[in-house]
Amino acid sequence: MHSHEPALRRSWALPTGSSRAPCSAYHIRPSPSSAPPRRRLSRVIEAILLLIPIAFAVSLTGVWIMLRLGRRLRAFDSAPIPGQQKMRRRPIPNTGGVGLFLGIALPVLAGLVALNAFADPIVRAFPALAEHLPRIREQTFDAVILLLALTALHIIGVIDDRRPLGPGLKLAIMLGCAAAVVTATTGTRLLTMLDAHVGGPWLSILITILWFGVVTNAMNFMDNMDGLSAGCAAVASICFLIATLLNAQWLVAALLALLIGASLGFLVFNFPPAKIFMGDGGSLILGFLLAFLTTRTTFYDPAVSAGWYALCMPLLVLAVPLYDFVTVSCIRIRAGKSPFVGDLNHFSHRLRRRGLSTRQVALVVYGLTAATGVSGIILASLNSWQAALVSAQVALILAALALIEFASRDQEHPVEP
């Protein structure tokens, strides 16, 4: 990024003085005279949206193959570890995470190879991409690091789906991957404004790794009933995609489009009644990728948005999985159990005990995620008092939900163990 380029936008993600700025950390807002034509912008958006059906097709095909292979190999869910509770085991393969992973990883890998080795024919097909090629090539190293981390988590998840590794080992590997991504890539840090106050980047790095751990576990926790994790990830990613397209953060938007397509492709076989499960091989990469993309996205632009509260957008969009993560952890800790040993006290299970069917639970979770997600999308465009009202609205929704859940007795509709 050259110093003479106008109107730089700062996000959470870049340490001051970095010489190589990712697209989410500094984004040029061109003046009207230098702005690209609307048609060129629309073609960039079209190219990004085209990634959704591409990822959908790859994921759909991969999940279909793994469904047939999983049935043939009888690769069903493993028995619970000591102290763990699971729903009644069904003869359903839990190998769908492989297809989901391929729906994201293969297009990313193919895109990096194509844009670095075969740029000319691609630019001829999509001329609007020409001005973005230098930035894409700058981001190749970061994309490779991300792919390696996702691959490591996917492999660990697939192994755990076959033979449980225990929560401690998985958590250590998860945080290790997060630390590698945060320290090896440029611009993957939250709250870099703290650096000047605490004597360096250590607190920002720690907060970012913690965010990765929370979001990855939250999406992993959501994978406790048919259709929940993939559907929730798709709805949340759509909200983030809208925000990134409005802010012209094309590379982050491209990854979100792949995440949406891959999740929807998997959901074809996982929506209740499920024919296949994603297992940890899928849920871990969903959460990790969402954590990465929310870290790399610019939510606060002093030149455009009204205040720092725009940084709260990920908390609003991911409010439902975070609510499940917090409440079920509190229930387990209160019972003297580890928060990472599974049971039947998730938000979805609590809804089931109130008489909802599995499909109705999935639709309720999708609806709540969309409701809080819409609030997150508009947050950056509001004045401070309006943002306070929107945030209070989401908080009141969750508080009312908690009151309904914990102040009333469950109906006699037990979840079958």
Residue 361's H or E segment, with its range, is helix 358-379
**Domain-located, residue 207:** yes
Residue 282 is predicted with a pLDDT of 96
- Indicate the pTM of the whole model: 0.85
Give residue for tokens 């990855």. Answer: 216
**Domain-located, residue 389:** no
Residue 240 is predicted with a pLDDT of 94
Low-confidence ranges of the chain (pLDDT < 50): 1-35, 305, 412, 417
Helices 280-296 and 228-246: angle between axes, nearest 10 degrees: 20
Separation of first and last alpha carbons in the chain: 56
Number of domains in the chain: 1
Residue 88 is predicted with a pLDDT of 67
Residue 107's H or E segment, with its range, is helix 96-117
Residue 307 is predicted with a pLDDT of 61
**Domain-located, residue 75:** yes
**Domain-located, residue 399:** no
**Domain-located, residue 413:** no
**Domain-located, residue 171:** yes
Q: Domain limits at 123?
A: 38-305
**Domain-located, residue 78:** yes
**Domain-located, residue 32:** no
What secondary structure does DSSP assign to 47-96, as a single string? HHHHHHHHHHHHHHHHHHHHHHHHHHHT-BPPPPPTT---PPP-S-B--H
Residue 144 is predicted with a pLDDT of 94
Give me the amino acid identity at 83. Answer: G
